[in-house]
Amino acid sequence: MSSVLKFSNASILALTLFYLLLGVSEAKLKVGFYSQTCPNAELIVTSVVKESTATDSKTPAWLLRLHFHDCFVEGCDGSILINNGDLDIERIAMAHQGLRGFEEINKAKSKLETECPGVVSCADIVALAARDAVVLSKGHNYQVETGRRDGLVSRNSLVDDFPDVNDPIQLLKSKFRNKGLSDKELVLLSGAHTIGSTACIFMINRLYKFNGTDQQSDPAINPIFLSQLKTHCPRDGDGNARIPLDKVSDKVFDDQILSNIKDGFATLASDARLNDDGITKQVIESYVGSSASKSSFGLDFGDAMVKMGRIGVKTGSMGEIRKNCSLFN
């Protein structure tokens, strides 16, 4: 009787360890997570992004920015997508004003629910769409890890630590480090500003009240560029008017933004601050110049995106798979 009991206890222990290890395995993101459960998942997302981009060339910039904004608040869990009428949701925060791309994510989700209902998370759709955005803008391809589940929390107050365009460099570095990202990855991910535009409302302090001083402009701005920026964004003008983040090639994903920063042609204050710090400045200079460096920027950007895509993910039994990306189940 005692030997049977011992065997039973050993068996239970072995099974417990097995299921614990299984749970750990299932909890990991991996490339091709949907290869068996929804083989066409990535193709469906890509088709939606391509279709939207053919209609509006601004689509890639929207989708790339959406992924960043999602990951830096509550992790990469689709919390930015919630739009349930609650006045405390994440997406209404000032830091997220001007975000677009929600329709494309919802359209992809609708198609995926028809193909394989209840399988593909909204958080993964956002990550896949961001990769497609880079590729469609002539950037380097990279493999996206999937297996995220959708979060159950979306609150305005959680956006307080989101990187701000007017943050000094040490604060920017701190905010990225708090997410497990290095100073190099701060520069690389800021390189996403090589496509897209920003609203003039985010430029006012930099152009007319730098460091809280009235009529003071950021001295890092090239004088010629300063005049152009003020023309596009007059102090009492339309705050919703938009200007390119990369004045040279805002539709092409390349490393031009780094040259802009180095030469005083950064549109955003947060980009310009990368040239204020010895470490981040050195990273910029390592990519500006030879053709080999230009190639490595694209590859390193992809690696940084993969790492960012792991921030605060919900996997395994955490979270949920939403039926509608705008609503909790």
Binding residues for substrate: 163
- Asked if 244 and 58 count as a contact pair (C-beta separation under 8 A), the reply is no
Q: CA distances (Å), 289 to each of 138, 256, 259, 275, 294, in order?
A: 19, 11, 9, 16, 7
Q: Report the alpha-carbon distance of residue 245 to residue 271 in Å, rounded.
A: 10
Distances (CA, A) of 229 to 57, 195, 244, 292, 323: 23, 17, 10, 32, 43
Tell me which H or E stretch contains 19: helix 2-26
Strands of the chain, DSSP E: 30-31, 145-146, 197-199, 242-244
> In degrees, to the nearest 5, what angle opens at C-alpha 81 toward C-alphas 73 and 206?
55
Can you tell me the distance from the alpha carbon of 151 to that of 122, in angstroms, rounded to the nearest whole number? 10
69 is catalytic: yes
Phi-psi region of 319 (alpha: psi -120 to 50; beta: other; left: phi over 0): left
- Binding site: which residues? 70, 73, 75, 77, 79, 90, 163, 193-194, 246, 254
Given 67, 69, 140, 232, the catalytic residue: 69
Q: How far apart, in Å, are the Cα atoms of 216 and each of 18, 163, 213, 222, 305? A: 64, 23, 6, 14, 36
CA distance 32 to 42: 9
Amino acid at 118: G
Residue ranges of the binding site for heme b:
193
Tokens for 189, please give them: 């991910």
Q: Specify whether the backbone of 94 is left (phi greater than 0), alpha (psi in -120 to 50) or beta.
A: alpha
Residues catalogued as catalytic: 69
